[in-house]
């Protein structure tokens, strides 16, 4: 009787060495950070081409956005601008990382959805008041297909 070679079950074999390597892709312009649940994040412009944009920053702060503290995201230490006006915050390339509770973002989105809906209705009503039954702005075109013998 011939001796059987020592074989491993197929489930134990790994195909990791046959996996295709990830394709190279250019790095994003802004670094990735760890998001905390319950918060929405946004990069806010602090300057454009070296000129400070204090009006934009103050308007976003009044909307409820607050700068993210560097202590809350230690993974961002190496990306922070050392000459930043916002000490102890995360600023990269004229953009300041800010956060606000997700509820505020949902309320803001609902507000702008309502604004858009009311403006759309106003435009439609203004346009349709010019409608005349003798010469309609829209003509409902209906077509039908029948099969069989016609009379």
Within a domain: residue 91? yes
Per the structure, the count of domains in the chain is 1
Within a domain: residue 151? no
Within a domain: residue 94? yes
Output the CA–CA distances (angstroms, integers) from residue 142 to 36, 49, 136, 149, in the order listed.
Answer: 54, 57, 15, 21
Question: Longest C-alpha distance within the chain, in Å?
Answer: 101
Q: H/E element holding 42?
A: strand 39-45
Angstrom distance (rounded) from CA 43 to CA 60: 10
pLDDT of residue 141: 65
Which residues constitute the domain of residue 48? 39-101
Within a domain: residue 75? yes
Angstrom distance (rounded) from CA 27 to CA 9: 41
Asked whether residue 29 carries a pLDDT value surpassing 70, the answer given is yes
Within a domain: residue 72? yes
Instruction: List, for residues 83-113, the tens digit of each pLDDT value.
Output: 778 888 888 888 899 999 999 999 999 999 9
89 three-class SS: strand
Within a domain: residue 86? yes
pLDDT of residue 117: 92
Within a domain: residue 62? yes
Give bridge partners of residue 99 from the DSSP assignment.
Answer: 41, 66
Of 95, 85, 78, 108, the C-alpha closest to 44 is 95
The predicted model scores a pTM of 0.62
CB neighbours of residue 124 within 10 Å: 10
pLDDT of residue 75: 82
């Amino acid at each position: 009787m011939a001796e059987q070679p020592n074989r491993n079950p197929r489930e134990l074999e790994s195909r990791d060495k046959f996996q295709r390597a990830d394709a190279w892709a250019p790095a994003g312009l802004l670094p990735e950070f760890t998001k905390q649940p319950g918060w929405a994040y946004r990069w806010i412009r602090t300057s454009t081409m070296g000129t400070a944009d204090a009006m934009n920053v103050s308007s976003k702060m009044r909307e409820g956005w607050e700068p993210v503290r560097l202590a809350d995201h230690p993974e961002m230490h190496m990306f922070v601008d050392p000459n930043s006006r916002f000490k102890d915050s995360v600023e990269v390339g004229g953009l300041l990382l800010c956060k606000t509770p997700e509820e505020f973002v949902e309320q803001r989105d609902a507000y702008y959805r309502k604004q858009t809906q009311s403006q759309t209705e106003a435009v439609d009503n203004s346009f349709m008041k010019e409608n005349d039954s003798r010469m309609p702005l829209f003509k409902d075109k209906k077509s039908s297909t029948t099969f069989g013998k016609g009379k």
